[in-house]
Structure 1
Amino acid sequence: MSDVIDREGTEKPRRDDPTVEQLEEEGEIAADYIEEFLDICDLDGDLEIDVRNGRAYISVTATGESNLRVLAKPDVVGALQELVRLVVQNTNGSFSRLILDVGGSRDARQAELARLVDAAIARIEGGAQDAALPPMSSYERKLVHDLVSERGFVSESSGEGHDRHTVITRS
């Protein structure tokens, strides 16, 4: 595999499976960018960096009477996550699979996905052959696949691009 050139012009080997140290570096780059972003927006928040499942996770939590909730909407978090991934990629020359959580938005979305899965399974138990969920990101589809499997059903992704969604069937 060929090397990549970072923004300082230094060659770095391309990485398929990043090490914990590389993921921690991604987290630090992302945290620095988010801190600066929060300062510019005059928002208060504490940052926590974690590495698990081959990804860097950045959590931004509210401190006291924070106005952080303006960023905690799913579409805003998704857009900010993509922006932070681009910053990391531009800095170290490697694709990032970093996950960003702002104000507990990921937990709220996971609970929403669980409700969607439960409703879809109820439709199947009521006689439907299958149940399709709305389009979602690959990360969210992965969470859905795990939830469906835990409930004893089968799921697969279908569609292309922004229309990619999950279809649930009996096992």
Structure 2
Amino acid sequence: MAETAPDGGDRVKRLEAEGDIAADYLEELLDIADVDGDLDMDVDGDRAAVSIVGASDLDVLVGAEGAVLESLQELTRLAVYRETGQRSRLMLDIGAYRQELRKNLVELAREAGDEVKESGEAIKLSPMTAFERKVVHDAVAEMGLTSE
């Protein structure tokens, strides 16, 4: 009989179950929308991560500045909540949009951080979504700076 960490094994199983529920929901949605795409599931830290990949027409699911993606993520989280009764922090990515966005935001944060270190003056960035703010805060913290 294999033993699992009291907390870790159960947590991973719960997150994998969230990913399965999300994937089922998204598969139905893709069928209804008549959009092709493959689903990849993973556990990324303390959240389930689901990605829709492999189709050329995924831009319609991302929308302008990721607005449709954000909405689909919230709907998917609600589908998980409906099944589990627990709030989900699931992260949805479509066509590597968030992956590319994260890369660009880290670059922006590093450039801003370098400028702050050089000038000693605070910099104000454009308004961002919660996801974008978290990426920037983390990148700036890695540079030994603080952000608001």
TM-score range, shorter chain: 0.7 to 0.9
Quick one: distance in 2 between partners of 1:75 and 1:128? Answer: 35
Q: 8 Å contact 2:110–2:139 — kept in the other structure?
A: no
Unaligned runs of 5+ residues in structure 1 are 1-17, 157-171
Amino acid at match of 1:21: K
| Correspondence for 2:38 | 46
| Aligned-residue offset at 1:125 | 4.2
Q: 8 Å contact 2:22–2:76 — kept in the other structure?
A: yes
SS of 2:104 mapped into structure 1: helix
Percent identical pairs in the alignment equals: 45
CA 1:76–1:154: 2 relative to 1, 3 Å: same
| Aligned-residue offset at 1:144 | 1.3
Mapping of 1:48-127 within 5 angstroms? 48-63=40-55, 66-73=56-63, 74-125=66-117, 127=119
Structure 1 stretches of at least 4 aligned residues deviating more than 4 Å after TM superposition: none
Amino acid at match of 2:75: L
* Aligned counterpart in structure 2 of residue 149 of structure 1, from 136, 141, 147: 141
| Aligned-residue offset at 1:145 | 1.8
Q: 8 Å contact 1:120–1:132 — kept in the other structure?
A: no
* Aligned counterpart in structure 2 of residue 130 of structure 1, from 122, 127, 134: 122
Q: Does residue 33 in structure 1 map to residue 30 in structure 2?
A: no
Amino acid at match of 1:110: R
Structure holding more helix per residue: 2
Unaligned runs of 5+ residues in structure 2 are 1-9
Q: Number of residues paired by the alignment? A: 137
The two structures have a TM-score, normalised by structure 2, of 0.82
Deviations 1:78-116 (A, max 9, x none): 111011111111121110000000000111111221233
Please give the root-mean-square deviation of Cα atoms over the aligned residues, in Å.
1.9
Deviations 1:10-37 (A, max 9, x none): xxxxxxxx71111111111110110111
| Aligned-residue offset at 1:126 | 5.2
Amino acid at match of 1:114: V
The two structures have a TM-score, normalised by structure 1, of 0.72
